[in-house]
Amino acid sequence: MINIGSSLKFRWVIFAVLGLCLMVSPALADGPRIPHFSTSSLLNEEEFVFKTKDEELRLAENHSYSSTLKERTRRTRLRGKTKLDTNYFKGLFADTGYILKSHVNWDTSDWYTASAVAGTTVFFMAWDDEINEEVKEGRGRITDGISSVFEPFGNSAIVFPALAGFYLYGRFGENEKMERTALLAAESFLVTSLFAGVLKVSVRRTRPFDGVSANTFEGSFTSNNAFPSGHTSTAFAVATVVANEYEEVPMIAPICYGIAAMTGLSRINDQKHWASDVFFGAVLGYFTSKTILRLHSKKKGHHFTIYPRTDSRGGGLVLSTRF
């Protein structure tokens, strides 16, 4: 029999962690600022030069671009086009590099968000032992049954083949949206797994089932460590892509993030992870996927870029705009 008091405490833990996981979604929604680049070969583009010689405003044509700008321009043209080809794999490495360096472009609000995530993670770490004890007391056949339902949503051995199946269905069923969603989810899954694996090896945090304190960091130099939760980061990485790609479907976001949150809770119930592992895993998966989605955004907008230009008639700055 399950103790009623312990059961109520466990329910409180469920709602608290679920609420925090869902609350972090809008907090990180803006993510790092993604620069947009354009070129004169794009449709409906206007470019203006502010000349340093006489501050004259005029239309600029036939200017040259650096190799870096050309590459960024090429990637801008590919926004929204996601196919399983060489560009997909090149983009995977390029996107990973961008995410690793994205903090360089953070503004004050981004650093506030990062600080809030770090502070919340530390808060959970301070209470990990207490939360773990509450979960152990409330654990029973019901909670184990619920965990068995949601654990597969974060299991890489199940998630990746499932994504491959969705891709094949979209590819041969001529469902471009499903094909794109599967490829973006696969990229988010791979990049998030890479980051989670590196952190696991670096932090070396032991798991709850080892019977030691949450403050023990003496694990092996492998990815079989606690921090962060790989299941949770995987679940949130995929859920974020699906929720955004199918945002027009009613209740899709609550369902996706709810399943991801329950996946994280299953890891706490099964004594595989501490609460802080789950929280940070959720943030890692969400943040990584949001950045990848922005890099592959299909949405059109009014984008600007400014770069220096010189010719035989003088020098200046070019303001490029694309609609």
- pLDDT per position as a tens digit, 271-311: 999 999 999 999 999 999 999 999 988 654 444 444 455 55
For CATH 1.20.144, the residue range(s) in the chain are: 4-31+80-297
Who wins on pLDDT, 168 or 64? 168
Q: What does the pLDDT look like over 150-177, one tens digit per residue?
A: 999 999 999 999 999 999 998 898 888 9
Backbone angles phi, psi at 319, to 5 degrees: -100, 115
Which helix (DSSP H) or strand (DSSP E) does residue 15 occupy? helix 4-27
Who wins on pLDDT, 49 or 203? 203
Q: What does the pLDDT look like over 131-146, one tens digit per residue?
A: 999 998 888 999 999 9
C-alpha span between 104 and 147 (Å, rounded): 39
Q: Which of 233, 241, 267 is nearest to 156 (CA)?
A: 233
C-alpha span between 23 and 87 (Å, rounded): 35
Q: Which of 298, 265, 300 is nearest to 154 (CA)?
A: 265
pLDDT band at 59 (very low <50, low <70, confident <90, very high): very low
Single pTM value for the model: 0.69
Model confidence at 122: pLDDT above 70 = yes
CA distances from 144 to 3, 48, 78, 126, 318 (A): 15, 64, 46, 26, 62
Query: Could you tell me if 230 and 154 are in contact, meaning their C-beta atoms sit under 8 angstroms apart?
Result: yes
By the 10 Å C-beta count (0-12 exposed, 13-18 middle, 19+ buried), 265 is classed as buried
Give percent helix, percent strand, percent coil of the chain, each to the nearest 5.
65, 10, 30
Average pLDDT, the chain: 75
Lowest mean pLDDT among 20-24, 106-110, 206-210, 288-292: 20-24
Q: What is the pLDDT of residue 197?
A: 93
pLDDT band at 44 (very low <50, low <70, confident <90, very high): very low
What is the longest distance spanned by two Cα atoms in the chain? 87
Model confidence at 189: pLDDT above 60 = yes
Residue 14, token pair as written in the block: 């469920």
C-alpha span between 276 and 159 (Å, rounded): 23
Domain 4-31+80-297 top-level CATH class: mainly alpha
Residue 229, token pair as written in the block: 């939760």
Q: What does the pLDDT look like over 222-278, one tens digit per residue?
A: 777 889 999 999 999 999 999 999 999 889 999 999 999 999 999 999 999 999 999
Which helix (DSSP H) or strand (DSSP E) does residue 50 occupy? strand 45-51
